[in-house]
Amino acid sequence: MTLRDRKRARTRQALVEAAAGLFERQGYDETTIAQISAEAEIGTRTFFSYFASKEDLLFPESDIRVHATFHAIANRQPDDGPAEILLRALRQVGEDSDDLAGRLAALRLRLIRTVPAVRGRALQIQLDAQREIARQLAAAFPESLDEVSAAALTGAFVGAVTGALQVLLEDAGNTDDPAVVRHAVQVAVDAALSPWLRDRS
23 within a domain of the structure (yes/no): yes
Q: What is the pTM of this model?
A: 0.81
Chain mean position to CA 183? 16
Judgement on whether residues 116 and 34 belong to the same structural domain of the protein = no
192 within a domain of the structure (yes/no): yes
Q: Show the beta-strand stretches assigned E in the chain.
A: none
Judgement on whether residues 38 and 68 belong to the same structural domain of the protein = no
- Estimate the crossing angle of helix 102-114 against helix 116-140, to 10 degrees: 110
Judgement on whether residues 71 and 125 belong to the same structural domain of the protein = yes
| Residue ranges making up the domain that contains 122 | 59-196
Judgement on whether residues 63 and 29 belong to the same structural domain of the protein = no
Which of 38-42, 176-180, 188-192 has the highest mean predicted lDDT (pLDDT)?
A: 38-42
Instruction: Tell me the mean pLDDT in the region 7-28.
Output: 95
Q: Give the list of residues 6+ apart from residue 48 with CB closer than 8 angstroms, or none.
A: none
201 within a domain of the structure (yes/no): no
| Amino acid present at 89 | A
Least Cα distance to 60 among 1, 107, 24 occurs for: 107
> Would the pLDDT of 164 be above 60?
yes
Judgement on whether residues 40 and 124 belong to the same structural domain of the protein = no
User: Three-class SS of residue 200?
Assistant: coil
Q: The domain that contains 38 carries what CATH number?
A: 1.10.10.60
Judgement on whether residues 179 and 87 belong to the same structural domain of the protein = yes
Judgement on whether residues 82 and 115 belong to the same structural domain of the protein = yes
Judgement on whether residues 34 and 126 belong to the same structural domain of the protein = no
> What is the four-CA torsion angle of 173, 174, 177, 181, rounded to 10 degrees?
-160
Total domains present in the chain: 2
Count of beta carbons in the 10 Å neighbourhood of residue 61: 16
Q: The domain that contains 152 carries what CATH number?
A: 1.10.357
pLDDT digits (tens, 9 = 90+) for 78-136: 888 999 999 888 888 766 666 666 788 888 888 998 999 999 999 999 999 999 999 99
Count of beta carbons in the 10 Å neighbourhood of residue 130: 18
Least Cα distance to 157 among 133, 182, 122 occurs for: 133
